[in-house]
Structure 1
Amino acid sequence: MSPTALALTGYVTWMLILIAGIEVLRTRAVLKFGRQPNTFAPDGSDVSPFANRLCRAHANCYESFPIIGGLLLFALATDRVSVTDSLALWVLAARIAQSLVHLASGSATAAQIRFAFFLVQLVVAVIWLARLFALRVAG
């Protein structure tokens, strides 16, 4: 499996892990505390501060997926993984790190650290786009 395919699979797996965490917290609230399953706020704010951060970390993943996932999918579909392979696992690592910092804290410092990891992903996406366009112009 190429690093690009591994990063794409890892990204989707990470989103599934986060959504499973949300479901575990909500199932616990239903079974242990008698909470009605149709009463949860989408952002998790009515469960706990951690649940709120977990929902936001998951939302950050799917909000970025059209960009990162789209570029990874494009590279795979057009046999241009040479463009994405070298940085694909760095993007995945930055995505997971961003989520883990989000889960750990909601402080201003944590938000700045999260932004740094998000910025890594955006910079890599711009690099990939520039390389893809350069291949298009050259080819």
Structure 2
Amino acid sequence: SARMSRRKEFLRPLFEQFWQSLSACAALPKSLLGKAIKYALGQKEAIDKLLEYGAIDISNNTCEQAVKSLVIDRKNFLFSTSVAGAEANAIWLTLIESAKANGLDPQKYLTKILTVVPQLGPFPTESELEPYLPWN
């Protein structure tokens, strides 16, 4: 893929230079710099694999954006009047974010499950609920 080719052409040389610089850096192992270098070198194998596989983003920006609303809502849960209320908010938010992550309109998805799932009876089985999971 184009992403993989660009990673090999541009990023691989930069990371090789970075690893060499870290290896040559003289820092006391227990110092903050020494700990940072040890941590970075410990990530080398994973980053090298990432450079070989073009389908995965090299940053976590996409994930950060996806959980941003969770972080904001978590602050709002502090003002729930009960633990049960906060749990209910978290469940609804999870349903909404799961629908978004699977390319569904959250309002349509929630309308669908609120219409269909109650008709399954008081204790639906996992196999009865499975078709209504957002990724299905």
TM-score (norm 1): 0.32
Larger helix share, 1 or 2: 1
Q: Which has the higher contact order (CA 8 A, sep 6+)?
A: 1
TM-score (norm 2): 0.32
